[in-house]
């Protein structure tokens, strides 16, 4: 199997008259990576994805997907796509809709029928296979769209806001499907507003603002391993606080709650031991990785609108 990047772009840009949607996009996505593309509304995420899919022509620059130039027909067979605004054939049933897309992919035979049923099961729509899409809820449409994106067993899947319109269970389903794709070695390029979703599923993320990548890296490196810790301790003498500064940065004390930052969790046992030696009764020690949303705000700037943190974070397993 080739080890060259699955997606590679070189100074791609797209201008709509004098509006610069994508200014300068150079990135590489390796095989098997779950790559998150994050940015505020209008940052250029969908435009970038459409250029990668060959759906719109770049104003300048170039790129390739699966080793072929953008838009190459043969490469498209090996690519799946869930658009942001899907135009569904509402008069078809769920099964007929997948069959139509299978035909568009020139998929044939018994294997295709099996695949359609497998996908209806995967997106939990088997019971609705014979219902017309017209009668589907927004979340059901999003799920059948996702099944469509996976139909050809693609090597790379582009998902543009796959969880929009989904309830927490639907979001969890998408997260689980994305993880399964990773296990199979499928590459996923994911545009998302749900930062907590990116946080739990992506290996690497790029932050895009006004058509420019402002930061790119693995989640670990972006979060910089920085750890925030909250400790609830009673009966600690105020003079004992000073001793904590040998490990802790930005120590804040509110009643019995101590909040501080650490470079590594390796320091936590020494801290709790110290607190106990000082006569403190330790009730809770809660390490908290600095959330992606904080990083997003820091990188993109506090003035940009964001969707609220969703509950997916509490589903984190």
Ligand X SMILES: Nc1ncnc2c1ncn2[C@@H]1O[C@H](COP(=O)(O)OP(=O)(O)OP(=O)(O)O)[C@@H](O)[C@H]1O
CA dist., res. 100 & res. 61, Å (int):
34
Of the ranges 40-48, 108-116, 239-247, 257-265, which one interacts with ligand X (CB under 6 A)? 40-48
The residue from 5, 44, 80, 162 that contacts ligand X (CB under 6 A) is: 44
The residue from 9, 46, 48, 187 that contacts Mg ion (CB under 5 A) is: 46
Site for ligand X, residues 54 to 113, rule: CB under 6 A: 84
What number of other Cβ atoms are within 10 A of residue 275's Cβ? 21
What number of other Cβ atoms are within 10 A of residue 181's Cβ? 21
Residue placing its CB nearer to ligand X in the complex, 39 or 80: 39
Binding mask 80-109 for Mg ion (x = CB under 5 A): ----x-------------------------
Residue placing its CB nearer to ligand X in the complex, 56 or 151: 56
Least Å distance, CB 224 to Mg ion, is 28
The residue from 4, 26, 41, 221 that contacts ligand X (CB under 6 A) is: 41
Q: Give every CB contact of residue 184 below 8 A, 6+ residues apart in sequence.
A: none
For the range 216-224, what are the long-range contacts, defined as Cβ-Cβ under 8 Å and sequence gap of 24 or more?
Answer: 216/27, 219/292, 222/292, 222/295, 223/289, 223/290, 223/292, 223/295, 224/290
Number of H helices, E strands in the chain: 11, 14
- How far is it between the farthest Cα atoms of the chain? 77
Least Å distance, CB 233 to Mg ion, is 46
Sign of CA dihedral 294, 311, 143, 139: negative
Least Å distance, CB 56 to ligand X, is 8
Contact status, residue 154 vs residue 79, Cβ threshold 8 Å: yes
Residue 47 interacts with which of Mg ion, ligand X, none, CB < 5 to 8 Å by class: ligand X
> Tokens at residue 245, please?
């500064």
Residue placing its CB nearer to Mg ion in the complex, 40 or 154: 40
Of the ranges 42-50, 91-99, 245-253, 288-296, which one interacts with ligand X (CB under 6 A)? 42-50
CA dist., res. 213 & res. 215, Å (int):
6
Site for ligand X, residues 9 to 38, rule: CB under 6 A: 16, 19, 21
Binding residues for Mg ion, rule: CB under 5 A, are 45-46, 84
Binding residues for ligand X, rule: CB under 6 A, are 16, 19, 21, 39, 41-47, 84
């Amino acid at each position: 199997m080739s080890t060259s990047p699955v997606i590679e772009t070189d100074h791609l840009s797209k201008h709509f008259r004098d509006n610069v949607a994508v200014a300068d996009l150079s990135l590489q996505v390796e095989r098997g990576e779950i790559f998150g593309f994050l940015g505020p509304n209008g940052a250029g995420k969908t435009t970038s994805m459409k250029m990668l899919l060959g759906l719109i022509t770049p104003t300048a620059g170039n790129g390739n997907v699966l080793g072929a130039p953008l838009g190459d027909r043969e490469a498209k067979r090996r690519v799946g796509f869930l658009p942001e605004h899907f135009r569904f054939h509402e008069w078809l049933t769920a099964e007929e809709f997948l069959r139509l897309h299978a035909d568009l992919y020139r998929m044939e035979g018994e294997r295709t029928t099996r695949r359609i049923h497998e996908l209806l099961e995967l997106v939990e729509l088997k019971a609705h296979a014979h219902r017309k899409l017209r009668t589907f809820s927004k979340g059901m449409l999003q799920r059948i769209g996702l099944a469509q994106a996976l139909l050809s067993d693609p090597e790379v899947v582009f998902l543009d806001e796959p969880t929009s319109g989904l309830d927490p269970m639907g979001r969890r389903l998408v997260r689980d499907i994305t993880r399964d794709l990773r296990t199979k070695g499928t590459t996923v390029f994911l545009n998302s507003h749900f930062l907590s979703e990116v946080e739990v599923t992506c290996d690497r993320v790029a932050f895009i603002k006004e058509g420019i990548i402002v930061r790119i890296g693995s989640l670990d490196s972006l979060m910089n391993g920085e750890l925030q810790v909250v400790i609830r301790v009673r009966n600690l003498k105020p003079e004992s606080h000073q001793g904590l500064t040998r490990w802790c940065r930005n120590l804040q004390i509110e009643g019995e709650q101590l909040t501080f930052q650490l470079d590594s969790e390796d320091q936590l046992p020494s801290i709790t031991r110290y607190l106990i030696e000082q006569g403190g009764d330790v009730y809770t020690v809660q390490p908290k990785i600095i959330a992606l949303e904080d990083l997003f705000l820091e990188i993109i700037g506090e003035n940009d609108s964001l969707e609220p943190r969703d509950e997916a974070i509490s589903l984190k397993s």
